[in-house]
Amino acid sequence: MPDTAYAGLLVIGDPHLEGRQPGFRKDDYPEVILGKLKWCLDYAANYRLLPAIVGDLFDKPRDNPNWMLGRLFDLLAGEVIGLYGNHDVHYNPELTEHDSFSLLVKAGRIKLLSADSPWRGAIGGRPVVVGGASYRQPIPSRIDPLETNAAAGPPLGIWLTHHDINMPGYDEGWIKPHEIDGVELVVNGHIHRRLESVQAGKTLWVTPGNISRRARSDATRVHVPAVLHVEVTADSFTLSHVTIPHQPYGEVFYEAVIAETTDSGSSAFVTGLAELQSRRTASGAGLMEFLERNLSQFEPPVADEIMNLAMEVTANVQGESGNRVV
């Protein structure tokens, strides 16, 4: 599809593809998330939108199963732009040839955006520049007025980021939304909840949240997986959050069992262990929380030994997860 046909962008937040079941998910996570990505790409094609992935395409930077990479090569058949996030890189913050994400870039399946290499083209009949800063890459305070076509007017500047931005409802951010000269819209990944947008001078900062639900938490319970549809208009743009078909929270996460087992003695402890075993989450999620709440009833040497064993077995399945933001 020639880029002149684009009507807008579709910004896809943090897919976190993974070949295993994360945490307390009880559905077929690898297939479900690939299915969501496919839904997003189909939606983009239907509405003539350029798909843009704002980082954390993968949950684990390496050792992703071949079948999943193969499916991605098929899925990312059209033009797709994007960033890498902290989960896409093993040695923060550099992307190396050992990281799965680099394969997709090398094969031309994803155009990696950077300050030096933005996407340029026409969207909605206007010149548009889409730049980007991957994890830990600097966010510029201005972009150069690139080629200015007197007839078409100055380009619409859009910037994508994967950063800890200080937004309402997320106080761990260390970057304050600020005006970027030449940029009207910044869309940030990394933060998995949808947050209120912030207008900083002429620059609007938007946090759409991710398309997958990773952690079993109150924030995830209320999060509606959605993508951001950016429609470019003659003199500006409009934004809408498009809900991705998804199952109810209760059908994708196991219920918490911890609270039921904290009160009384060793029989509750054993019952709780039996429940954890029956769930058998692939990552051992819940085990450490359970032990922390229950080990005080044992003599310290016994408690220490149990904890050491638990850490040994879960270290093998947790892998390198980087900073997890929910």
Q: Write out the residues near Mn ion by the rule CB under 5 A.
A: 14, 56
Using CA atoms, how far apart are residues 57 and 198, in angstroms rounded to an integer?
Answer: 25
Residue 45: C-alpha distances to residues 102, 126, 298 (Å):
24, 19, 59
Shortest Cβ 137–Mn ion spacing (Å):
16
Name which of 253 and 290 has its Cβ closer to Mn ion.
253
Name which of 56 and 99 has its Cβ closer to Mn ion.
56
Question: Is 277 exposed, middle or buried, given 0-12, 13-18 or 19+ CB atoms closer than 10 A?
Answer: exposed
Shortest Cβ 96–Mn ion spacing (Å):
19
Name which of 111 and 192 has its Cβ closer to Mn ion.
192
Name which of 64 and 261 has its Cβ closer to Mn ion.
64
Name which of 283 and 294 has its Cβ closer to Mn ion.
283
Shortest Cβ 56–Mn ion spacing (Å):
4
Shortest Cβ 315–Mn ion spacing (Å):
22
Place of tokens 């954890």: 276
Shortest Cβ 59–Mn ion spacing (Å):
8
Name which of 14 and 164 has its Cβ closer to Mn ion.
14
- Smallest CA-to-CA distance from 228 within 247, 205, 250, 246 is with 205
Residue sitting closest to Mn ion (CB): 56
Measured in degrees and rounded to the nearest 5, phi and psi for residue 68 equal -70, -40
Shortest Cβ 54–Mn ion spacing (Å):
9
Shortest Cβ 71–Mn ion spacing (Å):
20
Name which of 56 and 79 has its Cβ closer to Mn ion.
56
